[in-house]
Amino acid sequence: MQFRTTSADETRQVAAALEPLLQAGDVVLLSGDLGAGKTVFTQGLAAALGVAEQVTSPTFTLAQSYEGRLRLHHLDVYRLENLGEVLDLDLPELLEDDGVVCVEWGEVLIPELPRNFLRIRIGLAGPDDSPDMRIFEVDTIGPSWLARADALAEAWQLGVRSEAEPC
């Protein structure tokens, strides 16, 4: 699934449209260069989950948890130098919790993840495009996400119908 957004607000809307489909135990993996919009996406998700606090990048704390419709565990593994450090994050414990785990720079964790997760890759557009354009590539990994793929596509079509253009 691929689409683009043309502003940070639109990325927040896209994230908010995903929220109703989230279930306890879900894992959302976000990748993309610095400034791609991983934190912005997480902020949209958090707001839609009803998190009252402002979500910031948890780079220095590694993991930050927020109370919402589902508890949101926000991780940023940018600074982790090897997988050993990941275990210090108590990742298995967070994965067992019935919240949602949302990981920035999470590709390194793929071998440690359950078999179902949503993989979102955010890319910057070409030099001729708006600097605020982002291209989203989404993969539904595992049966649990595969079962929701159609609903997800529909939610995003409806949720971003106003501005985002399908690629």
Ligand X SMILES: Nc1ncnc2c1ncn2[C@@H]1O[C@H](COP(=O)(O)OP(=O)(O)O)[C@@H](O)[C@H]1O
- The binder of ligand X chosen from 106, 134, 140, 155 (CB under 6 A): 134
Query: In angstroms, what is the minimal distance from the CB of 105 to ligand X?
Result: 9
- Taking the least distance from each CB to Mg ion, the nearer of 6 and 57 is 57
Q: How many residues bind ligand X (CB under 6 A)?
A: 18
Residue 5 binding partner per list ligand X, Mg ion, none, with a CB distance cut-off of 5 to 8 Å that depends on partner kind: ligand X
* Closest among 91, 76, 58, 72 to 19, alpha carbons compared: 72
State in Å, rounded, how far the first CA of the chain is from the last one: 9
Residue 26 binding partner per list Mg ion, ligand X, none, with a CB distance cut-off of 5 to 8 Å that depends on partner kind: none
**Helix, coil or strand: residue 100:** strand
Query: In angstroms, what is the minimal distance from the CB of 69 to ligand X?
Result: 22
56 binds ligand X (CB under 6 A): no
Whether the CA torsion 90, 93, 95, 97 is positive or negative: it is negative
**Which segments of 6-133 are extended strands (E)?**
27-31, 63-66, 72-76, 100-104, 117-124
74 binds ligand X (CB under 6 A): no
Which single residue is written with the structure tokens 């839609």? 48
Residues of the shown chain interacting with Mg ion in the complex, contacts defined by CB under 5 A = 38-39, 57, 104
Which single residue is written with the structure tokens 């109370």? 67
Footprint of ligand X on this chain (CB under 6 A)? 5-8, 10-11, 32, 34-40, 57, 104, 132, 134
